[in-house]
Amino acid sequence: MGAEEFTVTVRACSAVTAFKKAVKDAKYDFGHGGYTGSIAEKDRFKMVVCPKDEDPEEYAQQLMDADDHWASDKWGPAGCIKIDEESEGPEWEYLFFGWASS
CA distance 71 to 9: 16
pTM of the model: 0.93
pLDDT of 8 reads: 98
- Interacting residues of 46 by C-beta distance below 8 A, sequence separation 6+: 70, 77, 78, 79, 80
Confidence of residue 89 (pLDDT cuts 50, 70, 90): confident
Q: How far apart are CA 96 and CA 18, in angstroms?
A: 9
Spell out the domain ranges in the chain. Answer: 3-101
Q: What is the per-residue pLDDT across 16-70, written as a single tens digit (0 to 9) for each?
A: 999 999 999 999 999 988 899 999 999 999 999 999 999 999 999 999 998 777 7
Contacts with 63 (C-beta within 8 Å, 6 or more apart), sequence order? 48, 71, 79, 97
Alpha helices in 1-102 (DSSP H): 15-30, 56-65
